[in-house]
Structure 1
Amino acid sequence: MNRVKNKAILLLLAICLILACGVTSPAQAKEPQTKAIWAWDFYEAASNSNKITAILKFLKEQDINLLFIGTSKTLPDQPATYEELILRAHEEGIRVFALVGRAEWALEGRHREALAELQQVLSFNGSHPASVFDGIQYDIEPHTLAEYKTKRGSVNYQYIQVLKKIAGEIKASGDSLEFNAAIPCWYASGENPVMVDTGGQRKPLSYFVLDIVDTASLMAYRDTAERQIRASLVEANYAAKLGKKVYIGAETSAPNGSTIPNEITYYNKGSVYLDKQIKAINAYYAQHEGFGGVAIHQYSAYKKMMQGR
């Protein structure tokens, strides 16, 4: 009896010591921060075993644990290759999201196409229970449409509706697929925020998006951590209020003077500089409830940048 009593006392003392030292229990341990990467071109990135080996090696070397992989026209043709990619990625602790997107899907007449992409992924998950996609990212950018110049309000409304339809179908399917949307940072914090009036509410378009999706990938493409933080803070704060998270995107594609001006990409500054900026972003947002991690755009460009260091 005394021996049992002594053990109980020792256990209590041990617990007190752990608490006094501030040691985090397993239940309280913080999950590793997400570091994601886009790979739009499935054929280039992962269309055979050798390419899968190469991309997974690269992701591990760069501490990347979330892969957005293009599926739009390739998933129905190569299910076995996607199965191999997902199985091997999961073994390495890397989540895999299907990646799809066209600006035209914002328009009501093209909603069916957007939903067909989702059904492909849901069908794949249903028939490959050991190698399911963890999520799906939709990159629908209505602001790039010609109609946006004259019918902004209508196009924004149609865009919100397609996101609601996607969310509804995911929920109805019972699949645990994470619904992620890529959105530009200036919807809420640009010089002219994109304000939307619908359902008796008036707020930035990105807020409506965050109301619907599980997470968002914020295209906060700038060439310093400070500028990326400023470009992402409004959405991160709103996401936190909803109990959701944003992934903050960093561009690594070569500048071309028009669609990719020098000031939005890290390409010419090199990977060492980029790593420092990512660390600064992670440090700033370390305790922020709306921050999910960073996302690098994109695989082929990042590899080239890494080669030049």
Structure 2
Amino acid sequence: MPAGLWRTVGALVLAVPLVGAVPGAARADDPPSVTIDSSESGPGVVRLAGRFAGAYDVSLVVNGERIERTRVSDPDADDAGTWAYDLDVGEMDGEIEVYTKATVAQTRYGTWSPPLTLRVDNPSARKPEVEITEPADGVRLTRPTPVRVRVAGKDVRSVRVRVNGGPWQRASGAAGRYVTLVNPAKHGDVMASLEAEAVDARGHVTRSTTRYVALGAAKKRRPVPHRQDRAMWIWEKASYNLVLNPGSRRLLETVLPPGSTMYLGVDTYMGRDIIEDARPELRDLVAWAHGRGMKVHATVAGGTRPPYLGALSRYRDRAVGEMERVIDYNLSSKPAERFDGINVDIEPYILPWFTSSKPDLQIQWLDTLRAMIARRDASGEPLLFGPAVPRWLDTSACCTDIPYGGTTRTLAEHVQDLSDYIAIMDYRDQADGSAGIIAQAAGELAYAERIGKPLSVVVGVETLDIATSGDPATITFREEGRDAMEAELAKVGQAFSGSPAFAGIALHHYDSYRELPTVWGPAARWPEPPADSGPPTGVASPPEAVAFDHATVDLTYGRAYDDTEVDFYEVHRSTEPGFTPGPGTLAGKARGLSHTDTGLLPGTTYRYRIVPVDVAGHRGPASDPVTVTTGATDLRPMVVESMSVTLEGGAARVRLRVVDKESGQPVAATVRGRFTFSAGRYVTVTADADGWATATSEALKLPTGEVGFAGHRLTAPGHYWAAAYDRDKAATTRW
């Protein structure tokens, strides 16, 4: 990076590496890339700017803590242009690492810029640093023992310590040295977590890393492998319902039988942390699952946004912190309320430089996994440790011949050496063949048998609609349906039934599996939801709306509750004051507590209301309205005026027309999208001079089914896609 340049900005002193003025826009024939070309500081803000080529959806990754959309300029609609973002550094201090990332237009995979480091000197945002210095990790305490805490920071107002998540007790001291007394007799013979917390005069709160000690005659316990068939990933939009809305568990019972394993997402979600601020409710869920003979593994990632940055050495402490969150929860809870394992979903191979940096990044990931396991071992908690890994970690060029721990092996083998189990993301829609589920898991099972690790390989399959990603439709059972999936999984179970290393089959994931019918089309069937006695409540807090630009509004709102499950939230939009939600105002459906409404008109005032809907179809009361006005643009809106999907020659055919919304004149737009339901082919076509575009799906082999078409990107010079005003969005063909 270029040399730093000191700038004084109000109360801030920034050392900001600069590259001078923003260069001209990238050209369409440049290789796919995104760059940070300049940084310019102002009062409490750093303006970052750069270029992109062969890409779209440019976003900024800020210190591994959040991902922000940037404002892009691409008037020629050729996936090349400039971007800018005003980064508010008013609450930042120290080294801030930023990247830009974008989606490559041709592959729909990612491309990243090199990192840029901002050095921010901002005393008002500086948080205290807190560390437990005594007792040491792993010691045994048999009598009252001082816990010593070192704090670095100004205006520290309180320092506290807690044992096993219990009440905070004040530590006394000054000048950065504090102490309190822990009496093992008050806690019994248990393994214990020691945490310290410091608060300064500005309200900044900092927690220490955890120290683990043995109290009295406590002994560490080792994890015991168990069957995981079926296992299922349950991400935060659903897991928080299971924790905070007990009726949701009745719905879970319809798809996950007793004896199954939950991979329960426990990341923070919409400002809440179920591990920290909903412990009683989380304990209740885990105890409920154990009462049904189920196992529960907490699913964590790298403690970063995006999660795969947690594999890097710079962010390793955050991944370790995720491990400690789960351990500390367990030590604070009764045996029946504790997690049985921890499923780790970091996936650093998503980083574009994973292959080119071999073996450095691979070793960083292994070191991160080792550091996480070391915290488990120090705590004595018998948590099974199981990373999710791709099916090619033992064969791809990025992952063979990795030197680590004195041996050179495949990355898969190193991960298996470290871990108690692996969950292979063996994502294909057929069991047999050289690229099938069975063949692609055979190597990992053989290695597990060779090193003597029973019940250590879980075979995972996909049910998610992934067609807009760069992955092929062949990686998911979304198109085939549940009956076809079960037939293939029966083959997998039979093939591996004699292997002592085989632990079972995992499904990704709960919400997409619930949406998966037996087969698409007239014969489609879904599991019957449990009996429901009435509609859900309204949302706990009214919606808030922010206009991002001329065409996009971001909405957030509070949770609703139900005696079973709030299946989704209807988002209703109107330009009329005091409107009543109805079929004509439905703008979208959201599974979680946020929704992004796109394809709007510039300079337009919209009103939004939120209506919760439960799994029985009961609609709760509509929220109060919220009003927001979109921004301005020089681009003209274009829309899909008509669309039809027909079945021709064993494939589906989509025919649609793109026009200028204001004039009705045809637009020769580039249409990108994918077929849906029984098909999953992604296509790119260009409309003719009359605005008409046609495309054909892959061959349809099932005797019954349904196919629709969903646009993904529509681009044309001087225009943008006002998708909210498209017609015939729900057009399908069934047979």
Question: Partner of 1:72 in structure 2?
Answer: 267
The verdict on how the C-alpha distance between 1:113 and 1:280 changes in structure 2, with shifts beyond 3 A counting, is: same
- Corresponding position of 2:386: 180
2:442 corresponds in structure 1 to 233
Deviations 1:195-219 (A, max 9, x none): 3123332211010000001000001
Output the CA distance in 2 between the equivalents of 1:276 and 1:257. 26
Which residue, 308, 317, 325 being the options, matches 1:120? 325
Structure 1 residue ranges without an equivalent (≥5):
1-30
Q: What's 2:405 paired with? A: 199
**C-alpha distance in 1, partners of 2:380/2:398?**
39
8 Å CA contact 1:254–1:260 kept in 2: the answer is no
Deviates more, 1:150-159 or 1:96-105: 150-159
Residue 56 of structure 1 aligns with which residue?
253
Matched-pair contact (CA < 8 Å) for 2:422–2:457: yes
Paired residue secondary structure (2:393): helix
Shift of 1:191: 6.9
Letter of the structure 1 residue corresponding to residue 476 of structure 2: T
Report the number of matched residues: 277
The one-letter amino acid of 2:326's match is: V
Distance 1:147 1:72, change over 3 A: same
The answer to whether the 8 Å contact 2:228/2:261 transfers is: no
Residues 258-297 of structure 1 mapped to structure 2, 5 A cutoff:
258-297=469-508
- Decide which of 97, 105, 128 is 2:310's aligned counterpart: 105
Q: Relative to structure 1, is the Cα distance of residues 198 and 289 closer, same or farther in structure 2, using a 3 angstrom cutoff?
A: same
Q: Could you say which residue in structure 1 is the equivalent of 2:233?
A: 38
Residue 136 of structure 1 corresponds to 342
How many Å separate the matches in 2 of 1:259 and 1:136? 29
- Give a deviation string over 1:39-82, Cα, whole Å, max 9, x none: 1122355431111232234312xx66000011121322221221
After TM superposition, the structure 1 = structure 2 runs for residues 203-214 of structure 1, keeping only pairs within 5 Å, are 203-214=409-420
Letter in 2 for 1:168: A
Alpha-carbon distance in structure 1 between the residues aligned to 2:288 and 2:325: 21
> What TM-score, normalized by structure 2, do the two folds share?
0.36
CA contact (8 A) 1:36 1:64 kept: no
TM-aligned CA deviation for residue 259 of structure 1: 3.8
The question of 1:81 aligning with 2:281 is answered yes
SS of corresponding position for 1:88 = helix
Identity %: 27
Q: Is the 8 A contact 1:46 1:55 kept in 2?
A: no
Say if 1:197 and 1:203, in contact at 8 Å, map to a contact too: yes
Following TM superposition, by how much is the alpha carbon of 1:190 offset from its aligned partner in structure 2, in angstroms? 4.0
Residue in 1 that maps onto 2:18: none
Find 1:246's aligned residue among 453, 457, 467: 457
Give the distance between the partners of 1:119 and 1:32, measured in 2 at CA. 25
Q: Distance in 1 between matches of 2:243 and 2:490?
A: 28
Return the letter of the residue paired with 1:39. I
Aligned-partner Cα distance in 2 for 1:127–1:205: 35
Q: 1:252 to 1:45 in 2, by over 3 A?
A: farther
Greater Cα radius of gyration, structure 1 or 2: 2
Counterpart residue identity of residue 112, structure 1: D
Q: Which has the higher helix share?
A: 1
Describe the SS at the equivalent of 1:85: helix
- Where 1:274 maps in the other structure, the secondary structure is helix
* Residue in structure 2 matching 1:145, options 351, 355, 365: 351
CA RMSD of aligned residues (A): 1.9
Maintained 8 Å contact 2:348/2:365 = yes
Partner of 1:110, secondary structure, is: helix
Distance (Å, rounded) in 2 between the aligned partners of 1:177 and 1:32: 14
Q: What is the one-letter code of the residue matched to 2:245?
A: N
Distance 1:89 1:69 in 2: 11
Task: State the TM-score, normalizing by the size of structure 1.
Answer: 0.84
Q: Secondary structure at the match of 1:243?
A: coil
Which structure has the highest strand share of the two?
2
Whole-angstrom distance in 1 between the partners of 2:405 and 2:385: 22
